[in-house]
Amino acid sequence: MQGDLKNDNINQDKVLCIGDISKIVLGISRAITLPIQTCQNPIKAIELLSESNFSRVIIQLGCTNYINSFLESIRKTTRQTKIQLAVEISQEIAAKELIEQNLADDYFISPVSLEKFKKYILDLEPIIAPTSGDAVSKLELYQRRIQILEKLATEDDLTGVKNRRYLLAFLNRLISRAQTEDIRIHLLIFDIDNFKKYNDLCGHPVGDRVLQQTSKMMRQCSRTHDVIARIGGDEFAVVFRDWPANRTSSQQERRTGKNEQPLEAITVTNRFKKLLSTNQLPDLGVKGPGKLTISGGIASYCESCNTVQQLLQQADNALLEAKNNGKNQIHLVGEPSMTEIY
């Protein structure tokens, strides 16, 4: 899976990709040629680096269990080669630590689409330079590509909030921290009541604008450290995390969730419901009600709900309960609905 693309804009730097490129680039196949050389065997990769001059090496983090010593070997073999890590979201912290140890130069979130890989990683398409007249180095343009790529990999294209992939990785890291730190975690999952009707009556472009307006209002109501994600269709999730001011309660109480209700999550959610109910949406026209309602469920990290899947499942069950009880309400796991708590 190697070759050259005939393109006037091709960067002629020699690139070696170490690891499974199909897990780095989505939609790659043997029929597609790229101006890179690939190698899945770390030992063979070291030999290639010693035999040929590569200006850049892209390494799939996880291609070897001995990543530190592997990167040290590459540094010793060719000190001029730029080392770039292709990492999953859950590996981002590890990648930053490797960069701090000077074992790598930078990283990007993978997998990425073939189009984005060619444009932002391999520099096969020109990027528009700033119009300020200031000189911009090749390194600065390259770093901008990486920043754009990371944004594309973690954000929902339509609404600008985080995507499902980011949400799952973020929750996984947060729960790992909550096992040893005093962190309260609450997960809200909600969707727009009767959203299919808006799409059918007003058309999908209107439906898209409704999703954009909904996510915008949720951002207005939430706190800066709350994480909002669109996880599919008209379904959204919000992660609330807090470091309690009262440190006297035991960790057992915090983990079992017996010491308090998710007051912050309830407050933000009700603020959001109220904003939805009072804002007219002209896009819906005469065919729609002009305003939106949502149904949702809130689950909390505790002893009986301490994994990502358990949090998602409990919040989703509470959402279904809210739907079955008439919609336009939020249910807490194991608690009555909170329809009019403003």
Domain-by-domain residue ranges, the chain?
15-154, 162-332
Place of tokens 């999952």: 189
Tell me the per-residue pLDDT of 267-283, one tens digit each, with 9 for 90 and over.
899 999 988 888 776 66
Question: Facing residues of 330 across strands?
Answer: 296
What does the mean pLDDT of the chain come to?
80
pLDDT > 70: percent of the chain = 77
pLDDT digits (tens, 9 = 90+) for 291-342: 788 999 999 998 888 899 999 999 999 999 999 999 999 998 865 555 443 3
130: pLDDT strictly greater than 60: no
| Whether residue 212 has pLDDT greater than 60 | yes
Least confident range from 29-38, 58-67, 137-146: namely: 137-146
- Dihedral of CA atoms 67, 89, 56, 79 in degrees, nearest 10, equals -40
**In this structure, what token pair is assigned to residue 12?**
């002629």
State the Cα–Cα distance between residues 249 and 61, nearest whole angstrom.
40
Q: Which CATH number fits domain 162-332: 3.30.70.270, 3.40.50.720, 3.40.50.300, 3.40.50.150?
A: 3.30.70.270
Query: For residue 247, what pLDDT is reported?
Result: 42
- What is the pLDDT, as a whole number, of residue 185? 92
Residue 295 and residue 269 in contact, taking contact as beta carbons nearer than 8 Å: no
SS3 317: helix
The whole-number average pLDDT for the span 157-167 is 89
**Mean pLDDT (whole number) for 58-73:** 92
Burial category of 315 from C-beta neighbours within 10 Å (exposed 0-12, middle 13-18, buried 19 and up): buried
∠ CA 13-17-23 to the nearest 5 degrees? 135
CATH number of 15-154: 3.40.50.2300
User: For residue 113, what are the β-bridge partners?
Assistant: 26
What is the per-residue burial (b if ≥16 Cβ within 10 Å, else e) of 17-49? bbbebeebbeebeeeeebbbbbbeebeebbebb
The most distant pair of C-alpha atoms in the chain lies apart, rounded to whole Å, by: 71
Query: Mapping DSSP to helix (H, G, I), strand (E, B) and coil, where does residue 232 land?
Result: strand
Q: What is the mean pLDDT of residues 144-153?
A: 71
> Residue 287: pLDDT band by 50, 70, 90 thresholds?
low
pTM across the whole model: 0.60
User: How far are the Cα atoms of 201, 258, 281 from residue 286, in angstroms, in the given order?
Assistant: 10, 47, 11
Using DSSP, state whether 324 is helix, strand or coil: helix
